[in-house]
Chain A
Amino acid sequence: MAFDATNEIPDDALMVLYANGDRQAALALAHRITPRVLGYATRLLGGDRAEAEDVAQETMLRLWRTAPAWRQGETKVTTWAYRVATNLCIDRQRSRRRKGQVALDDAPEPVDGGPGAEGRMQDTQRLAALEAALATLPDRQRQAVVLRHLEGLTNPEIATVLDIGVEAVESLTARGKRALAAALSGQKDALGYKDDRDAE
């Protein structure tokens, strides 16, 4: 099977193909799931790229090991992967705290996924401020906000990932957004939001 031919195949069907020895299914799953897990882990770990890559690789390693026993239609592959990544990130955050590290102070500069053109300077500043504000949120709020607003999961999917009820997800995301708005309000002039509104 050609790699392009896997584009239309659902994730869980690719898992079955992978377990049956299909090499293209392995490549397709790696290219589909790894970027999502990496993005999620990077945001949960305050932008620590090296740790996020370790989490992404470990999550994918567990995915490969689980594949032969995967039951198609029971759980979404992405939901499963986010759940594993969440637990791995929690472990690393606990380990950091035991070592006395402060995530916000140690957070590296956020990665800009686009080209570094001058016109994107303001966006880059805003994204950096968002990363910093996300890092100040309690773990559960950060996980819920990232899954809902950055990874695009639905509330029931987030409830499955975080193993909580849908109402709790709604509460976490609402409180998380309020906290983010409060954290960013002090920088609105520096981030150019006042200028944007004046221009309208």
Chain B
Amino acid sequence: MQNSDLDDLLALAAMRPPAPSPALMDRVTADALALQPQPLTAPRVAVARPGLMSRLVKMLGGPAAMTGVTSAALFGVVLGYLDPSTLDILALGQAADQAETEAVDFFPSVDFLMTEG
């Protein structure tokens, strides 16, 4: 028998390994699944639901936007309280010299509240 004959025979045997039976594969698979560690899962953490005020602030654009809205509201109240002539000065920007010489009443007169009759 030549060496090449033996090499060919060994190559033939290598190409025909004994195939595992379905029963063996079932047993091996069952062992694998039975001994398999459980999957790692992150513990569930309860997330606190944001309150009504937080959601409202968020809906309006966050704390920065809320600051702007609040400032605008306050300024509106102040403007509403000021004397209309003051508004003219603020809005139209009268001449500087006039502003310097005339006394300007920023707040409306409340003298009528103190008048009897």
Contact = CB atoms under 8 A, between A and B. Distances in A.
B44 interface: no
Contact of A27 (B6, B14, B18, B29): B29
Contacts of A57: 24, 27-28, 31
A26 B29 CA distance: 7
A21 B40 CA distance: 7
A18 B32 contact: yes
A130 B18 contact: no
A53 interface: yes
Q: Specify the main secondary structure of chain A where it touches its partner.
A: helix
A111 B16 CA distance: 9
Contacts of B5: 188, 193, 196
Interface stretch (A60-68, A84-92, A97-105): A60-68
A148 B95 CA distance: 107
B35 to A, nearest CB: 4
Interface string B35-47: 1111110000000
Contacts of A111: 18-19
B26 to A, nearest CB: 10
A35 interface: yes
B10 A150 contact: yes
Contacts of A31: 25
A49 interface: yes
Given A30-B29, A61-B31, A64-B32, A21 B18 contact: no
Interface residues of A, number: 50
A140 interface: no
Nearest to A127: B13
B21 interface: yes
What is the size category of the interface that chain B forms with chain A? Answer: 20 to 34
B31 A112 contact: no
Interface in B26-64: 27-29, 31-33, 35-40
Nearest to A131: B13
B13 A130 contact: yes
A37 B33 CA distance: 19
Given A20-B39, A38-B24, A184 B29 contact: no
A163 interface: no
Contacts of A113: 16-19
Contact of A150 (B14, B20, B28, B31): B14
Contacts of B27: 57
- 5 tightest A-B CB contacts, nearest first: A21-B39, A39-B17, A113-B16, A26-B32, A64-B35
27 contacts: A18-B32, A19-B37, A21-B36, A21-B37, A26-B32, A27-B29, A30-B28, A34-B20, A35-B20, A38-B20, A52-B18, A53-B20, A57-B24, A60-B28, A60-B32, A64-B36, A111-B19, A113-B17, A123-B12, A126-B9, A130-B13, A149-B7, A150-B17, A181-B3, A184-B1, A185-B1, A188-B1
Interface of B: 1-3, 5-7, 9-14, 16-21, 24-25, 27-29, 31-33, 35-40
